[in-house]
């Protein structure tokens, strides 16, 4: 038996400890948050424990696309929670069927399999692609391969980090599952060259978010669709971050008029209130699942289904994809109008925009800290890119506030460098 030492209660509950202190004392150090403690949210605004108001330009990585505490979504959440929340999939419920219909009709896909997190939905896509390869394409058992793009980010499970090209995500967590082949993102020729008789699918983000808001060349997805069709492999689009209006269309793949064989949704599907995700696919792909093959205790629960259906209704009714396109074009233009040598590039689509900062000038973290001081919340990725991805309900006045805060931050950093 391993001996343990219990600290006195008084020693673990100091009266002057802040919430952030308690996080550091009792939590794993797997995040490096900005120095602000948030307490309340409303629309595009977040309020900290000191009562200061901040403009949210992160949307929890697109999970809060509808804004914080949208009244219609909170009402559905509350009413459903009072009636029925979780039963497991051992029984039918009155909420799951309508949710599945809504997500399929909204995306143009045939069938959906509900999960909770985006990573779970990606794992579901991997399982579906492999089983389809063995049962339909007749790939020899144990030899199915899935092609992925370098720079991808699909979650943190051991399978997913195994096909990541980011060294830190993999460091210390192996061994990893085989069966994945990586090709450069945006290179259709490399995709085609990597296909073999054992290839099951190509899994790709239409725009790479965590990699730094990397937009592929125009026509890339359409070319990938043609290649996959011609070679008899599945095209699976990971739209956990780009889906449901974020890029100015319901799906990012809509910009090129293509329909994938498999689709992964998450984040915004939960309305910013709880984790809801889904893997959607063609009839043929989804037919490979039979009772007992796959499941989730919480996946498709009545609470999640009710909120997910309401979020999809809100997306269409409030024309949020169109709003994202208009506000996104405005934000992109105004960010590009900032004439500063510290800005290397501004790129993105809709309300998913990255501002790349020259590391010789400053770190993206320093820029985010400067934005925080001016009442704007964002977070860097890879130390060089600042995200600008507000809730889709953002208005022009909020765009101006964010752009001016960035300009002021860059000028302030100029003085620090000098």
From the candidates 66, 99, 202, 267, give the one annotated as an active-site residue.
267
Distance between first and last Cα of the chain: 60
What burial letters (b/e) apply to 127-139, b meaning 16+ CB within 10 Å?
bbbbbbbbeebeb
Bridge pairing between strands 343-349 and 352-357: antiparallel
Q: How far is CA 80 from CA 72, 157, 279, in A?
A: 12, 31, 23
From the candidates 153, 163, 180, 298, give the one annotated as an active-site residue.
153
CB 65 within 8 Å of CB 245 = yes
Q: Provide the token pair at 184.
A: 């450069």
- Say which residue the tokens 């054992």 belong to: 198
Q: Which residues contact 120 (CB under 8 A, 6 or more apart)?
A: 155, 277, 296, 299
Please tell me whether residue 124 adopts helix, strand or coil conformation: helix
CB 236 within 8 Å of CB 263 = yes
Which of 169, 192, 246 has its CA nearest to residue 215?
246
How far apart are the C-alpha atoms of 183 and 191, rounded to whole Å? 6
Calculate the CA 348 to chain-centre distance.
Answer: 15
137 has catalytic annotation: no
171 has catalytic annotation: no
How far apart are the C-alpha atoms of 210 and 238, rounded to whole Å? 13
From the candidates 111, 131, 180, 238, give the one annotated as an active-site residue.
238
Q: Which DSSP symbol is given to 241? A: T
How far apart are the C-alpha atoms of 240 and 269, rounded to whole Å? 9
Which of 400, 366, 399, 405 has its CA nearest to residue 383?
366
CB 160 within 8 Å of CB 154 = yes
How far apart are the C-alpha atoms of 227 and 235, rounded to whole Å? 9
Q: How far is CA 293 from CA 93, 289, 296, in A?
A: 21, 6, 11
Q: What are phi and psi of 112, to 5 degrees?
A: -135, 145
Q: What are phi and psi of 143, to 5 degrees?
A: -120, 5
47 has catalytic annotation: no
CB 268 within 8 Å of CB 246 = yes
Residue numbers annotated as active site: 153, 238, 267
């Amino acid at each position: 038996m391993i001996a343990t030492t219990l600290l006195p209660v008084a020693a673990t509950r100091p009266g002057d400890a802040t919430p952030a202190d308690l996080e550091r004392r009792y939590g794993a150090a797997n995040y490096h948050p900005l120095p602000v403690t948030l307490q309340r949210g409303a629309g595009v605004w977040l309020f900290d424990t000191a009562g200061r108001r901040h403009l949210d330009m992160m949307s929890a990585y697109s999970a809060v696309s509808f804004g914080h505490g949208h009244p219609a979504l909170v009402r559905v959440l509350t009413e459903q929670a009072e009636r029925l929340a979780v039963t497991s999939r051992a029984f039918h419920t009155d909420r799951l069927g309508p949710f599945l219909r809504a997500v399929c009709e909204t995306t143009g896909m045939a069938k959906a399999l509900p999960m909770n997190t985006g990573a779970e939905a990606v794992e579901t896509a991997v399982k579906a692609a492999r089983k389809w390869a063995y049962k339909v394409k007749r790939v020899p058992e144990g030899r199915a391969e899935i092609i992925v793009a370098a720079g991808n980010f699909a979650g943190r499970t051991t399978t997913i980090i195994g096909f990541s090209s980011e060294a830190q995500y993999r460091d210390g967590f192996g061994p990893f599952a085989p069966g994945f082949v990586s090709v450069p993102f945006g290179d259709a020729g490399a995709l085609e060259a990597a296909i073999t008789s054992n290839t099951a699918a190509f899994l790709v983000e239409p725009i790479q978010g965590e990699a730094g808001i990397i937009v592929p060349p125009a026509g890339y997805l359409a070319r990938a669709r043609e290649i996959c069709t011609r070679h008899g492999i599945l095209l699976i689009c990971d739209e956990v971050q780009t889906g449901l209006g974020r890029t100015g269309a319901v799906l990012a793949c809509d910009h090129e008029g293509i329909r994938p064989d498999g689709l992964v949704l998450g984040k915004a599907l939960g309305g910013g209130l709880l984790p809801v995700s889904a893997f959607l696919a063609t009839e043929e792909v989804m037919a490979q699942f039979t009772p007992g093959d796959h499941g989730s205790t919480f996946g498709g629960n009545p609470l999640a289904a009710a909120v997910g259906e309401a979020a999809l209704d809100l997306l269409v009714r409030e024309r949020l994809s169109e709003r994202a396109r208009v506000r996104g074009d405005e934000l992109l233009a105004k960010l590009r109008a900032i004439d500063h040598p510290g800005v290397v590039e501004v790129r993105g689509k809709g309300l998913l925009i990255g501002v790349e900062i020259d590391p010789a000038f400053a770190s993206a973290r320093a820029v985010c800290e400067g934005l925080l001081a001016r009442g704007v919340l964002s977070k860097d990725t890879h130390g060089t890119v600042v995200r600008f991805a507000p809730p889709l309900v953002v208005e022009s006045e909020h765009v101006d506030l964010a752009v001016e805060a960035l300009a002021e931050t860059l000028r302030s950093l100029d003085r620090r460098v000098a």
